[in-house]
Structure 1
Amino acid sequence: MAIDDVSDELADIIDWAIAFKHGGDLNYDFKPLDGMSIGSIYE
């Protein structure tokens, strides 16, 4: 996955992650990475 893959939603993803970290009011239906195949260095 590259930044180009999520460039349109990158700001929303970052805002969601910051709110999640700080325990803010979240939209739990927002799943920015749903449906994407994300690799791991352990694969």
Structure 2
Amino acid sequence: MDAFFYSSPRLLHDEHKAYVFLFGISNHNWGILVLYFAMIF
């Protein structure tokens, strides 16, 4: 239970990064900005 609890934030964070990255690819105007934030976070 504890292991799942501590691993959840990382999994959600990785999924968020993947979603933002794909969103940036589908929207060329925001591509550079999204990649910039993706490298930070």
TM value normalised by structure 1? 0.38
| Bigger radius of gyration among the two | 2
Higher helix share: 2
